[in-house]
């Protein structure tokens, strides 16, 4: 990958990843409102907004960040399997995306209930929210960001083998 293309893909990946973190933070604000609100109108609005943010912002950002992260890792010297921090970041991103996709069904069901005019406030109150998942997801994303900034040392066995091959070839 050329230097210009590598920088473009990396900038795109960083933008998508930071956007994902920001969208989850906005989602948490709505999730707190859904978990604590006694006002039926506010509760209905929170569930509707949560459904929109997940479907049109968080899921696309998560999938795009996962794919661009894969491209960055495979197209740079870091590689996907050479360094523990890259591999762990990828696996955590994969895990976070999978949990998000599973949790999206619950959020969509809550949003559909909130959109139904026959649903009463009493029907919405017991739903609570998805606060545990959203805060847990944010923590995972922050760990991934930390790993990608600090890049802790440590090569995988594959990384050591590739390093030895490169040294022998040089």
Predicted confidence at residue 100, as pLDDT, reads 97
Answer yes or no: are the C-beta atoms of 95 and 32 closer than 8 Å: no
pLDDT, residue 145, reads: 97
pLDDT at 1: 83
Which pLDDT belongs to residue 42?
93
pLDDT, tens digit, for every residue of 15-41? 999 999 999 999 999 999 999 988 989
Q: What pLDDT score does 121 carry?
A: 87
How remote is the C-alpha of 58 from its chain's centroid? 7
Render the chain in DSSP notation, one character per residue: --HHHHHHHHHHHHHHHHHHHHHHHHHHHHHHHHHH---HHHHHHHHHHHHHHIIIIIHHHHHHHHHHHHHHHHTSTT-SSSBHHHHHHHHHHHHHHHHHHHHHHHHHHHHHHHH-TT--HHHHGGG---HHHHHHHHHHHHHHHHHHHH----B-HHHHHHHHHHHHH-
How many residues comprise the chain? 170
Rounded distance between C-alpha atoms, residue 90 and residue 147, angstroms: 10
* Domain harbouring 140, CATH code: 1.20.120
Q: Residue 170 has what pLDDT?
A: 85
The count of domains in the chain is 1
Predicted confidence at residue 77, as pLDDT, reads 85
The residue segments making up the domain with residue 62 are: 3-169
- Round to whole Å and give the CA distance between 167 and 170: 5
For residue range 64-94, list pLDDT tens digits in order. 999 999 999 999 888 999 999 999 999 999 9
CB 44 within 8 A of CB 114: yes
Beta bridge partners of 155: 83
Name, in order, each residue with C-beta under 8 angstroms of 12's C-beta and a sequence gap of 6 or more. 68
pTM of the model: 0.92
pLDDT of residue 47: 96
pLDDT in tens, 38-74: 898 999 999 999 999 999 999 999 999 999 999 999 9
pLDDT digits (tens, 9 = 90+) for 98-154: 999 999 999 999 999 999 999 998 898 888 779 999 999 999 999 999 999 999 999
């Amino acid at each position: 990958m050329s230097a210009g293309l590598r920088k473009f893909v990396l900038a795109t990946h960083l933008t998508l990843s930071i956007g994902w973190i920001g969208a989850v933070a906005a989602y948490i604000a709505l999730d707190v409102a859904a978990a604590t609100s006694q006002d039926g109108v506010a509760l209905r609005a929170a569930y509707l907004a949560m459904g929109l943010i997940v479907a049109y912002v968080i899921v696309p950002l998560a999938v795009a960040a996962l794919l661009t992260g894969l491209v960055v890792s495979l197209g740079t010297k870091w590689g996907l399997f050479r360094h523990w921090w890259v591999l762990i970041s990828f696996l955590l991103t994969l895990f976070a995306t999978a949990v998000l996709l599973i949790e999206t069904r619950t959020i969509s069901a809550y949003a559909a209930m909130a959109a139904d005019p026959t649903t009463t406030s009493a029907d919405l109150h017991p739903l609570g929210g998805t606060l545990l998942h959203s805060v847990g997801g944010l923590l995972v994303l922050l760990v991934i960001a930390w790993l990608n900034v600090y890049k802790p040392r440590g090569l995988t066995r594959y990384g050591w083998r590739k390093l030895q091959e490169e040294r022998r070839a040089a």
